[in-house]
Structure 1
Amino acid sequence: MSNGFVHSVTVPRIYKFTANIVRRVQEEGASLKTLIYEKNHPNIAGIYGLSMNTLRMLPHLDQLFHKTHILTEQPRLDPWLARVLITELLWGKKNLKSHSKPVLTVLAYERKFQEELKNLSYMETFISHKKKVQKPRYVRVNTLLLSVEKAISLFQKEGWKLLSRSTTYSSYLQSLSQLSEPYFIQDLHIPEVFAFPSSTSFHEHAGYQNGELILQDKASCLPAHLLNPVSGSIVLDMCASPGMKATHIAAKLQNCGNIYAVEIDAKRFETLFKQIKITHSLCVKLLNQDALTLDPKQYSHVEYILVDPSCSGSGIVDRPGQSNMNNKPLSKRLQNLQSFQVYLLRYALLNFPNAKKIIYSTCSLHPEENEEVIDEVLTDIGNAYSLMPAKQLLKNNWINFSSKRYNCGDKCLYSKPNIDFCNGFFIAVFERNFDVALPKCKRKGGNVNSTIADMGIKENDTSERKKRKFNAKTMQEKKKKEKRNLNE
């Protein structure tokens, strides 16, 4: 970012926060929602709305920069802050209530912006966005803190009216398409998930703030639903932040069992920690390390695994398209993502001998991250695993599946925003055949020598040494105290 102005009146925090978020989404490919919720800002809804508007209008903002020469004439004006301020001025609240120098500078160009707007084809983009599917506001009830029945009662006391639960997927989709206040509906597949009209806000709701209600898209709830571990199970979530799926699994287990939630990134790990804490997911054990460094021997008792790796996020309805991230063409970025996704899934399939079921999921609609990943690992696992037909798992109450053009056929599940009224998602379910031994594989992510795996666990080494040193010191002090007491 360029150097900001030196001035006595500070820029309102909402604009500074939003500018930093938009920059990181564009320059680093970071998740918009993760960036917003990792900071406890009092106006989350305002930041989210302004961030989305700014990201949608980026092509037109760049045109305005070019036509008005604002950045060349005002070289000390931060370009990302300028984008946010102009968006608010032209397409948001249409005013800027601040006397900070960046705001006054943007206001000085308002007439030029308005003149250039007449020559821009921004209305086409804005209208086309409005035509996109309006997906409902999904809420997952955290059954560790609140029963589904109690949640329904609370919603009804607030004035909401529960529609009759649908019996077929077609009737359910019909209800979703017509959902409006004051009605809400229980999800057909996942009973702890409810759909409300798209404009409903829960950020200020007491249930959201105390962890009883989770704002989680229906598609994101499907992996834990299909994993469906039995009470007392040992589960591994290999890419756990921000913690939505891990906490959903904890609720499935009712905190009876263990979940190893792994996250390599330090900031995302903090977000994960907060989510685990607020939801009271007591059975979750947090690991701040690379999942690929897990010692297979140490975690040989794992029975269920969730592999939800980093992906392009192309299925997320609220995320603007990003065809050129970090100056890399989309095809190159997908190739890099695919390599990691294959590596991680292969690692999960071939290194945990007691795993009964493994879920692979992405919030992507690109075959490169989905069918192509599954096809590549199918050549490695032989008959040790079989792909479970998603249609069968959802009792034929689904529409979209993987393409028969691939070796995985139509056994994997797709959710499509314009059909299923939720984010785009891909899910593959692997089930273990214990009559067949895990095959040997020397490719990346294949059978790992545990001594090599141990060498990779570095992030926790320092903390573990400190813990042992602290315990030893405590024991010494305890012994000295006991000795003094005896002498007295």
Structure 2
Amino acid sequence: MSKKPHSVKVPTQYRATAKILKSALQQRKSIKALIAEEKHARVRSLQAVLKHYSDNRGAIESAIEQAGLLKDNPSLEPCLAKVLVTELIFGRKQLNGDSRPVQTVRSYQEKLQQAVSGAGIQKKAPNPRYVRINTNLYSLAEALEHLAGEEWRRKEIPADASYDDFLKAVKSMEEDEFMIDMHVEGVLIFHPKWGSYWVTHDLVRTKKFILQNKATCLAAELLAPPVGSTVLDMCAAPGMKTTHLCNVMQNKGRIYAVEQSADRYRDLCDITEQAGCEIVSPTFGDVLTFLPDRFPGVEYILVDPSCSGSGMQNRITVCDEPKDDRRLYLLAGLQIKILSHAMNAFPDVKRIAYCTCSLWKEENEQVVQRCLQINPSFKLLSCKKALRNKWNNVGDKEYPKIGKNCLYALPDSDLTDGIFLALFEKRREGEKD
């Protein structure tokens, strides 16, 4: 004898996701923290559904209202409804089980789809999957040979192609194609469909490939420490940029990589060892307490401090997050301290790259402006020129001599995470603007 619909339980995965969504909306808790607390569900599945909701929540809530789903079914729990609609319209396009909530939402599928289509809303297109070759362990030639063996087709563009031409080529890639990035040679670009494919790939597991967004690869690319140089990575964990610096230097020289969080320091040690970084010296502690005698001869410094993370595309937000001026003020204060320490404490420094994954001016142009005011021995270099002028987005023109020299990578136009970059150079004695 079959169970009645109302006696069939909602699948655990849907209930766990709805519980997290409800807590996030009502208590303004972090989605990341709530997922970490969930013990009885598949984390990747939770993240996928909540990310779809985060990207399309306006369309989902509008469709629910237009279809009359909650109005017609007042006993249907609202957050569970949002989860089920998300999965049905923007996720896997199907629902598991035969519980009453699942059957109810299924019965509204046509109305929900019409509401979304009628509003002209399309699912937000994900950005490409970026994979960086770890040249400590694997060469570009080996990578290309392996990909050919997996029947990937390389899509090439002319050497004189513009940045806009490059972006058009990326957007029009077929599913079985890949490209080599025009700015960072070791970065490979794949169709968005293959985002999760690479997570479990053997080349990633063995650290021959590193999953790193193209935007964050620009930090090491612009700092460009020569082979054999001495580098300080001031806020190094989890270590993606550290391993990239090691690649740029061909694993020759010295990289001091500092991290003050014990857990993140262990992650840093693990990845640099697994990635074959022979020149990296992980150091546990607060970089503001370290002076030149601890890191002698430092010539190049990467400053990638804690920031708001407002540019990160893997962030999941389920409600409008108001700008937190107090938090930005505190973050900027720390960022200025760390960047100024880089400029003052190391007498041999030649070049400094400052990087955030933030789109707020308070953490970007304003930090650069303040540090130049209190450290006049440094000047800004043009990030755009360093990329052969093949870039579009620079800083805010309201900051004279600063904005035009800084760089933004923006998710919608550059198909990357959102980051900010500034490049400083030590002035020669007597040099003025």
The alignment's TM-score, normalised by the length of structure 2, stands at 0.78
Q: 1:140 to 1:291 in 2, by over 3 A?
A: same
Alignment of 1:175-254 (within 5 A): 175-200=169-194, 201-254=197-250
Q: 1:17 to 1:418 in 2, by over 3 A?
A: closer
For residue 291 of structure 1, report the CA deviation from its aligned partner. Answer: 2.1
Q: Which has the larger radius of gyration?
A: 1
Alignment of 1:261-280 (within 5 A): 261-280=257-276
Secondary structure (helix, strand or coil) at the match of 2:219 reads helix
CA contact (8 A) 1:165 1:187 kept: no
Q: 1:122 to 1:277 in 2, by over 3 A?
A: farther
Cα RMSD after superposing both structures: 4.1
Q: Distance in 1 between matches of 2:207 and 2:13?
A: 26
For residue 202 of structure 1, report the CA deviation from its aligned partner. Answer: 0.8
Alignment of 1:277-356 (within 5 A): 277-321=273-317, 329-356=323-350
Aligned equivalent of 1:150, options 142, 146, 149: 142
For residue 349 of structure 1, report the CA deviation from its aligned partner. Answer: 1.5
Matched residue count: 405
Q: Distance in 1 between matches of 2:300 and 2:353?
A: 8
What per-residue deviation string (whole Å, max 9, x for no partner) do you get for residues 396-445 of structure 1?
Answer: 111111122103130111112222222222110001125269xxxxxxxx
Quote the sequence identity (%).
32
What per-residue deviation string (whole Å, max 9, x for no partner) do you get for residues 197-221 of structure 1?
Answer: 1111212221111100111111110
Q: 1:129 to 1:255 in 2, by over 3 A?
A: farther
Secondary structure (helix, strand or coil) at the match of 2:405 reads coil
Where do 5+ consecutive residues of structure 1 fail to align? 1-8, 73-78, 98-103, 438-488
Secondary structure (helix, strand or coil) at the match of 2:315 reads coil
For residue 43 of structure 1, report the CA deviation from its aligned partner. Answer: 7.3
Structure 2 counterpart of 1:208, one-letter code: V
What per-residue deviation string (whole Å, max 9, x for no partner) do you get for residues 433-472 of structure 1?
Answer: 25269xxxxxxxxxxxxxxxxxxxxxxxxxxxxxxxxxxx
Secondary structure (helix, strand or coil) at the match of 2:369 reads helix
Q: 1:205 to 1:127 in 2, by over 3 A?
A: farther
Q: Distance in 2 between matches of 1:235 and 1:183?
A: 36
CA contact (8 A) 2:234 2:303 kept: yes
Q: 1:19 to 1:210 in 2, by over 3 A?
A: farther
Aligned equivalent of 1:172, options 166, 172, 175: 166
Q: 1:160 to 1:71 in 2, by over 3 A?
A: closer
CA contact (8 A) 1:324 1:330 kept: no
CA contact (8 A) 2:84 2:105 kept: no
For residue 284 of structure 1, report the CA deviation from its aligned partner. Answer: 1.8
Q: Distance in 1 between matches of 2:118 and 2:378?
A: 46
The alignment's TM-score, normalised by the length of structure 1, stands at 0.70
Q: 1:231 to 1:43 in 2, by over 3 A?
A: farther
For residue 20 of structure 1, report the CA deviation from its aligned partner. Answer: 7.3
2:422 is the counterpart of 1:428: yes
Where do 5+ consecutive residues of structure 2 fail to align? 1-8
Partner in structure 1 of residue 48 of structure 2: 49
- With 344-353 and 423-432 compared, the bigger mean Cα shift is at 344-353
CA contact (8 A) 2:95 2:106 kept: no
